[in-house]
Amino acid sequence: MHSRGARSRELVRARAAISAIFFLYGTILGTWTARIPAVKQRLALSDARLSVGLLAFAGGAIIGMQASGPLVDRFRSTTVIAPAVFADGLLLIAPGYAANLATLCVSLLLFGAAHGTLNVGMNVNAVEVQRAWGAPIISSCHAIYSIGGFVGAAVGGIFAFAGLGAGATFAAVAGLVIVAATCVTRAIAIPDAATSASAPPPESRIEADADAPLRGVLVLGVLVFCCLVGEGAAADWSAVYLHDSLGASAAFAASAYAAFALAMTTGRLVGDHLSAKLGPARLVRRCGALASVGLGVGLLVDEPLAGVIGFGCLGAGLSCIAPQVFSAAATRNPAHAGNAIARVAGLGFVGFVIGPPVIGNVAQVVGLPGALAIPAVLAMFVALAAPALRPQACPRPAVT
């Protein structure tokens, strides 16, 4: 009885710790996003020059993701998370004090690399805790990340309202992150049930499976790519669509992305329950269909309220896809979970980065409503490809 109680406390502590890491990750990114206009103004950057800095951040994130995969597999997620979260917090400060575009790009490249490294480590750890927990928990972790993003954006808004610069904002948030991370990282753990499920120590697993291919990673990565094209489209084009295409006021146009973000967070809060009830493949199929049909109908109705509802459906539909795909990638390749998630997350991040400009260029030809059909089509593709999340049987040796 005492052993079970101790075991329960260990699991609860591990889940709380990784949830807190997701929250800090979201807070850091939300703070940075909220103060991008201040950084742009301080350096007197044009939109084109600012985009160079933002591409440096994206490039750094992808580099960090790919580099951290092998590190997580060899040294475990706990070893990678601790330095990554401290680096992510500290490196947030530098862009706020960059002297010119060149130093901004360097600082964002390093910041992105730390952010990408933390992304892989925390997702692998969430899957490991989930395995020990014996029930889905990863969607709730992503919901907490979304909440952290709201908090970070709110903090950035408060500092902006107070007339304080981006540097002061980033330094204050970084200080809070470091204090919180000092407490949280002590509780980050891989529960025994998770390690025993994929048995021997990481080094021997890497050696034993060095030549084994990562099963199904490309297909799973494509699903996340499609999902994050939709997220990027909502972030960059939802308000523009309502304001410019439908004639909504600026205030009402902003509610389109608010509906998207709120629906996504709510969907992730209930995602674990739905995953346990439906299974990952059925959940992703229904989520993809909701995102596709909801946004598609909203675009066809051609009214501001329908647009808000359409983007809300897109957020609810996309909410559970990435967490379920990350979980499937790690579970399918337990000896290479870090590499699997790194490749899936990297493909997804590419979708988030290139999706909005592609939609913008297509809009020049067919109009923004037509271009926004791209996320709806991709979401339907995810729905149709959802069986890829079903567990794959390992090939049996031939009988001679």
102 in the same domain as 237: no
Report whether 283 contacts 271 (CB < 8 A): yes
Would the pTM count as exceeding 0.85? yes
**What is the total residue count of the chain?**
400
Same domain, 120 and 66: yes
Same domain, 198 and 243: no
- Nearest-angstrom CA–CA distance, 141 and 151: 15
- Position 33 in a domain: yes
In whole angstroms, what is the distance from residue 75 CA to residue 88 CA? Answer: 19
Same domain? For 193 and 87 the reply is yes
Distance CA 52, CA 336 (A): 33
Please give the pLDDT value at position 6: 55
Is residue 22 a part of any domain in this protein? yes
In the chain, the N- to C-terminal Cα span, in Å, equals 49
Q: Is residue 211 part of a domain?
A: no
pLDDT, position 51: 87
**Domain identity same for 147 and 226:** no
Q: Do 221 and 158 share a structural domain? A: no
User: CA nearest 29: which of 89, 87, 81, 104?
Assistant: 89
- Boundary-marking domain end, from 204, 225, 246: 204
Same domain, 200 and 222: no
Whether 396 is in a domain gets the answer no
Alpha-carbon gap, residue 80 to 76, rounded angstroms: 7
CATH of the domain at 18: 1.20.1250.20
Q: What distance in Å separates the CA atoms of residue 373 and residue 316, rounded to the nearest whole number?
A: 17
Distance, CA of 335 to chain centre? 22
Residues 15 and 67 in one domain: yes
Cα dist from 20 to 23, 27, 213, whole Å:
5, 10, 33
- Give the pair of three-digit tokens for residue 376: 């709806």
258 and 222, same structural domain?
Answer: yes
- Could you list the pLDDT tens digit for every one of the 400 residues in the chain? 445 555 588 889 999 999 999 999 999 999 998 899 899 999 998 888 888 999 999 999 999 999 999 999 999 999 999 999 999 999 999 999 999 999 999 999 999 999 999 999 999 999 999 999 999 999 999 999 999 999 999 999 899 989 999 999 999 999 999 999 999 988 887 766 555 444 334 443 444 344 356 778 999 999 999 999 999 999 889 988 999 999 999 889 988 999 999 999 999 999 999 999 999 999 999 999 999 999 999 999 989 999 999 999 999 999 999 999 999 999 888 889 999 999 999 999 999 999 999 999 999 999 999 999 999 999 999 999 999 998 765 444 444 4
Confidence at residue 393, expressed as pLDDT on a 0 to 100 scale = 55
Largest CA distance in the chain: 77
The candidate with the shortest Cα–Cα distance to 344, out of 232, 235, 210, 228, is 228
For residues 96 and 178, membership in a common domain is answered with yes
Sequence-separated (6 or more) residues with CB below 8 Å from residue 28: 88, 89, 92, 115, 148, 152, 173, 177
CA distances from 125 to 18, 330, 334, 338 (A): 7, 10, 12, 9
User: How many domains are contained in the chain?
Assistant: 2
In a domain, 124, yes or no: yes
User: Quick check: 275 and 324 in contact, CB under 8 A?
Assistant: yes
Planar angle of CA 117, 123, 129, nearest 5 degrees: 135
- Give residue 3's identity as a one-letter amino acid code: S
Are 243 and 173 found together in one domain?
no
Domain that holds residue 158: 2-204
Q: Are residues 221 and 199 in the same domain?
A: no
The residues, any chain, with a CB within 8 Å of residue 102's CB and separated by 6 or more, are none
